[in-house]
Amino acid sequence: MIIIGLTGILGSGKSTVAALLRGRGLPVIDFDALAKESLARKETQDDIRDAFGDEYIVGDRVDVEKLTQTVFTKDPNVRKLEAIVHPRVRQEVERQLLALEEKGVKAVIIEHPLLFEVGFHRPVDKIVVVTATEEKLRDRLEKRGMKGDDAARRFSFQIPLREKEEKADYVINNNGAENQLEAQIDSLVQRITTWEETGHASK
């Protein structure tokens, strides 16, 4: 089974690409979604309370907005939260990968926004990076209601897109119209089929 890491940067459109790949029958494991599910678990909440304080847990849920504001102000806070959440998510990813392999699935996508930043690129066979111009990124984030200083702060915790592109086996340019993106997805699916047939040896 080929494990393909799908990543990009905030606003590049990796979730859109993941949805299109899922629509073409490829299984997608969403690392972010699993991380959010982890926040609902008591053991995760207990660790967050110990690391950040009681005020970050309201009733039986994590105050995500408050935690996000704290985390994206200092690098040590980001690493602290990752140390709490990521090991649990990795276990769930491994469980899902094993289940898919037992079903005979030939290729699986792992959508991970921090694939390189946290070293998750090492266990995958191929890497797909979704890219876009800085102008397009900021335009999309503005439409989401994210202010420029908040976007800049979050970008500072991620490896620049150009560096990610250089390490990719396949790059999707998400600057154009929807039909242009669809065409690139079709090409990627063909490439994945080639990787399957050749034992994913060729790029």
The rounded Cα 134 to chain-centroid distance in angstroms is 19
Q: What is the mean pLDDT of the chain?
A: 90
85-91 contacts: CB < 8 A, separation 24 or more? Answer: 85/35, 85/38, 85/39, 85/44, 86/35, 86/118, 88/38, 88/41, 88/44, 89/31, 89/34, 89/35, 89/38, 90/120
Tokens of 159: 């490896």
| pTM, to two decimals | 0.89
Mean per-residue pLDDT for 97-116? 95
Q: Cα separation of 3 and 115, whole Å? A: 13
pLDDT on residue 200: 60
114-155 pLDDT, tens per residue?
899 888 888 899 999 999 998 888 888 888 887 767 777 777
Q: What is the mean pLDDT of residues 96-121?
A: 93
pLDDT band at 93 (very low <50, low <70, confident <90, very high): very high
Among 101, 119, 107, smallest CA distance to 170 is for 107
- What are the structural domains, with CATH classification, of the chain? 1-27+106-197 (3.40.50.300), 36-104 (no CATH)
Task: State how far the Cα of 67 lies from the Cα of 81, in Å rounded to an integer.
Answer: 9
Each residue's pLDDT tens digit, 21-76: 999 999 999 999 999 999 999 999 999 999 999 999 999 999 999 998 888 776 68
Residue 69 CA neighbour count, 13 Å, CB half: 6
Position 107 confidence tier, pLDDT thresholds 50, 70, 90: very high
Report the candidate in 35, 27, 45 with the shortest Cα–Cα distance to residue 89.
35
Cβ contacts of 100 within 8 Å, gap of 6 or more: 1, 27, 108
- HEC sequence for 71-120: HCCCHHHHHHHHHHHHHHHHHHHHHHHHHHHHCCCCEEEEECCCCCCCCC
Least confident of 54-58, 102-106, 154-158: 154-158
**Does the CA dihedral 158-162-166-169 come out positive or negative?**
positive
What pLDDT score does 202 carry?
A: 42
